[in-house]
A and B are shown apart, each in its own frame.
Chain A
């Protein structure tokens, strides 16, 4: 593992930073812009490559945790430098229920903006971001390349966001847009 290469990018964007806007292909004929998801939290999972064993585990885990993320009102997105056709085959093989975006041309441009591109290897780091409903990074985490980061940190970050939403729900700045997964009303608390 080329551990010496981690110094080459400027560092993963930290909480409090505005999340850089991007528009990437989610399928050969569709694109998705981060700003389209404004109004609800977004989980961005950067991962090095489709098909590699640890990534497989990681996407399978997030796929399985998806109902809990949706209960917390969040959108889930995976990003790697793989192309759309590769993503399509990977998503089909793994039966994934969240979009995989292709940071393919110019290669790794979005990963660079988030400070998670590995120049020497030509792939993105294994990194997680939670972007809040206003488009700011609420939480970020850089995982060792070979380690599946798990989903507990993401869930905790989303719960904190929900706590803030609930406590400020009267000031008018946190209007809730219903998520596609439907209602996240009382009684949907994810228990530890």
Chain B
């Protein structure tokens, strides 16, 4: 149904991005920190990043399905709070490496482990400081045709070929890199 086009496009100011702007391939993931499939995708994305190096730019946007995953919303807000303290990716990785422990006290503890201000993170969760930002990501995902988590976009087009075969995923990205 969807034309499967990423809206809005990747924005250097707003998005969380790994990899150089000059990379020929931009991979965007809409993910939920408590979703087990996203947990399975996490090491696959890491392997793609290792294999493609400077050829790949990776972007993560939030898509918490809060009624299915009660901790997903606060986990997403915690990552955004960490981002405000300069440590989005450290928190992102920590959350995916500890998917079974994502209640509020865990999130605050991770902030401490990462050398962030845990009280600030706790306040941000309490106040919902980043709830609007997370919702904005969610809405952009719905508009772009996200129909479950994780959903990936490659250079702005939804990738429907199946992400769970890492070799196939890598070949797909390599062929995009070669043709760009």
Contact = CB atoms under 8 A, between A and B. Distances in A.
Interface of A: 57-58, 60-61, 63-65, 68, 94-97, 128, 141, 143, 147-153, 155, 190-192
Contacts of B144: 152
A61 B147 contact: yes
A95 B139 CA distance: 20
Contacts of B64: 64
B68 A60 contact: yes
Contacts, number: 61
A68 B67 contact: no
Nearest to B69: A60
Contacts of B145: 150, 152
Contacts of A141: 1
B7 interface: yes
A57 B8 contact: no
A140 B136 CA distance: 26
B91 interface: no
Interface string B117-151: 00000000000000000001011101111111000
Given A155-B142, A191-B139, 7 more contacts: A63-B67, A64-B66, A64-B67, A95-B67, A148-B147, A150-B145, A190-B139
A68 B148 contact: no
Contacts of A152: 1-2, 142-145
With a 10 A CB-CB cut-off, give which of A57, A58, A143 has the most chain B CB atoms: A57
Contact of A60 (B1, B2, B65, B138): B65
With a 10 A CB-CB cut-off, give which of B7, B65, B140 has the most chain A CB atoms: B65
Contacts of B65: 60-61, 63-64
Nearest to B68: A60
B15 to A, nearest CB: 16
B77 to A, nearest CB: 15
B1 A153 contact: yes
B1 A149 contact: yes
A68 B143 CA distance: 11
Interface in B19-63: none
B39 to A, nearest CB: 16
Interface in B126-180: 136, 138-140, 142-148
A141 B136 CA distance: 26
Contact of B147 (A57, A68, A95, A96): A57
Contacts of B67: 60, 63-64, 94-97
With a 10 A CB-CB cut-off, give which of A94, A96, A149, A151 has the most chain B CB atoms: A151
A38 B141 CA distance: 30
Contacts of B8: 192
B86 to A, nearest CB: 27
A150 B66 CA distance: 17
A68 B68 CA distance: 18
Interface string B58-85: 0000001111100000000000000000
11 contacts: A64-B64, A65-B142, A68-B142, A94-B67, A97-B67, A128-B1, A148-B148, A149-B1, A150-B142, A150-B145, A155-B143
A61 B144 CA distance: 13
B139 A61 contact: no
